[in-house]
A and B are shown apart, each in its own frame.
Chain A
Amino acid sequence: MIKISNITKSYKDKKALDNFSLTIENGSIFGLLGVNGAGKTTLLSILNNLLNIDSGDISIFGLDIKTQKREINSISSIIPQHLAFYENLSVGENLDFFSKIQNAKKEDFEKALEINSLQGMLKQKASSLSGGQKRRLNIAIGLLNNPKVIYFDEPTVGIDPKSRNEILNSIKNYKSLGITVVYTSHYMNEIEKICDEVAIIDKGKLIEQNSLENLLSDKATTSLEQHFLKITGELDA
């Protein structure tokens, strides 16, 4: 379980997260929704130890984020929005590099390849891959340490619908592997398609946390997008 309790993070005078609390159950696919600047990326950076919190507590699978950073990093993984690998290296060299720096097991290397259908591309230079293949490589790198939790930061930006669909289907399969997924996206239909539970963030505060089923049962709105706009006050505007 990921338990976030009353955390605050400020950049100078601006509060990116304000007394923010959230609980994410093990094995769930959890969607984080929010407009640009809502605090999603700050939250993901904090959960990945890339930023420190000003106050509050976070526990990830029973590990304290303030004192057990290395342990947390070894059981979690982030899939950044940018293609965070080396274009001038081949697929195999990229995976080899990232697995060696994490002391990854060979079976996890093979599993990451298989899940992302990259077996036949090991010798191909990363720069020569299609947009969808690059995204899959980006995700495969995140699987190398066999994480208990993966954070996806808008992983489908700029790719064709077919590749997007393939990626979303593979993420759905992580649930069966017991991996907890935290997923942020601007695309409401993606959240609707894969998530069990959704949190809506606005101006650094948690506006709503509910199961997807409950959110979609809102009689006043016809879709998740409408519900999101209603709850963030954008619909009236």
Chain B
Amino acid sequence: MLSAMIKKEFLLVLRDKHALLALFVLPAIFILIMSVAMRDQFSTKAIEFSIFVKDKDQSEMSKDLLSRLSNNGNFVILSSQDKAQFIIKIPKEYSKSANIKINIAVKDSIKSDQIKIFKSILSKEVLSAKLNEMSKRMKQYSTKASDIIKSLDTSDEKLFSVKYNNSQNIPNSTQQSVPAWIVFGMFFIIIPMSTIYINERKQNTLARLNSMNVTVFSMTLSKSIPYMFINQIQVWIMLGVGIYLVPLFNTPALEINGSILAIFAISFALSLSAIGVSSLIAVSASSSEQATTIGGILNILLGAIGGVMVPKFIMPESMQNLANLSPMSWGLDGFLDIFLKSADLKMILNEVIALLIFGMFALILSMIILNFRIKKGL
């Protein structure tokens, strides 16, 4: 009996072109658009300054500085000054006198905050070049002092110890977009599930099935299994989009570092939550129009507060706390842990359990409501 009901549900979903579009095509398009569009926002190498360098000094130190600037990823050294945002003039005798400053000409359109960033990056390189020069000069007097100076390292790694809080690992645009739209797409099952459910209820098919000794539990189970399977297909197709399709648009590919078992666990738990919410809406709404409207709004709200549309790490703390109320956020956190922190099943167990409890609660509630509605002939 159960296999016949599952087969029926599959046939109905697979013949619903709009549902397939919403379940598979829409999230894939979202992943592509958002990954590419947000690429630079998430990139740590986004800041690039075009510079032109006039080296009047032509000393070892000025050449060392030039070499450092060309090796720094934040600077693009142009061969002509026409298009340069900054023109750096290294005056004659610069290496010989500590009082001679480097001159910088800035293009009108450059904003003050960009100048600050430019100066801070440039300072680091100038300081390094000076330390290097000092070390060389000291060598003739004291090898030890020279070594001490040389050992002074101005790299970020040596100067700062940056430790991210667990919840604040920052993903790249693909790592953010893929799980976000997977989570959002999984909840799109509200549309086909509620449409089929409500048609069955309105047409008295559910009552007919009930009179054929099909229990509400069997009805719910037979609907849950196909959508769980569909959700799994969604997850792996969207991961495929992130891994293979997104890089074709000059955007970082998705890298899965965590456990595959953890991906199965979080997607299964998330699926149960999505099915629970969908069932609840389907059995509570009085028409498919009402269900798709409520479902659509709820989906967008859960997505908005859950970090799907706006990444949680850029939200203020109060909004991050609010986000924790959304099951989409739990699912998203689980996926991000797997992608960013190489999480295994144990590390995402809290999210999995929360999603399972939420899903089971919603499903049980929907069964109670459905039973009530069948008995009342509603």
Contacts and interface: CB of A to CB of B under 8 A. Distances in A.
B17 to A, nearest CB: 11
B210 interface: yes
B206 to A, nearest CB: 9
A101 interface: yes
B208 A88 contact: no
Contacts of B213: 70, 73-74, 102
A83 interface: yes
A84 B207 contact: yes
Interface core residue of B3, B11, B12, B211 (most chain A CB under 10 Å)? B211
Given A78-B208, A88-B11, A88-B15, A97 B4 contact: yes
B5 A101 contact: yes
Contacts of A175: none
A84 to B, nearest CB: 4
B216 to A, nearest CB: 12
A51 B375 contact: yes
A101 B377 CA distance: 22
Interface core residue of B204, B208, B375 (most chain A CB under 10 Å)? B208
Contact of A50 (B12, B16, B207): B207
B205 A102 contact: no
Interface string B1-43: 1011101100110011000000000000000000000000000
Contacts of B375: 50-52
Given A50-B377, A103-B1, A89 B12 contact: yes
Contacts of A73: 211-213
Given A73-B213, A101-B1, A84 B208 contact: yes
A80 interface: yes
Interface in A187-201: none
Interface string A62-103: 000000001001101110111111101100010011101111
A9 to B, nearest CB: 12
Interface string B191-203: 0000000000011
A45 interface: yes
Nearest to A70: B213
Contact of A88 (B5, B16, B207): B16
B4 A100 contact: yes
Contacts of A102: 212-213
B203 A82 contact: yes
Contacts of A98: 212
A19 interface: no
B4 A145 contact: no
A86 B204 contact: no
A85 B208 CA distance: 9
Contact of A93 (B5, B11, B202, B212): B11
Contacts of A45: 207, 377
A49 interface: yes
Contact of B8 (A74, A81, A83, A86): A86
Contacts of B205: 84-86
Contacts of B208: 78, 80, 84, 141
Interface residues of A, number: 32
A223 interface: no
Nearest to B207: A50
A23 B5 CA distance: 36
Contacts of B12: 86, 88-89
B209 interface: yes
A51 B374 CA distance: 8
B171 to A, nearest CB: 40
B210 to A, nearest CB: 6
A48 interface: yes
B294 interface: no
A103 B203 CA distance: 23
Given A88-B15, A88-B16, A89-B11, A49 B211 contact: yes
Given A45-B377, A51-B377, A93-B11, A83 B203 contact: yes
Nearest to A76: B211
A100 B203 contact: no
Given A52-B375, A102-B212, A80 B8 contact: no
Interface of A: 41, 45, 48-52, 70, 73-74, 76-78, 80-86, 88-89, 93, 96-98, 100-103, 141, 145
Given A77-B211, A80-B204, A84-B207, 13 more contacts: A49-B211, A70-B213, A83-B203, A84-B203, A84-B205, A86-B205, A97-B7, A98-B212, A100-B4, A101-B4, A101-B214, A102-B213, A141-B208
- The 4 A-B pairs at the shortest CB distance, nearest first, are namely A100-B4, A80-B204, A84-B208, A84-B205
16 contacts: A41-B377, A49-B210, A50-B377, A51-B375, A52-B375, A73-B211, A73-B213, A76-B211, A84-B204, A84-B208, A88-B11, A88-B12, A97-B4, A98-B212, A101-B214, A145-B212
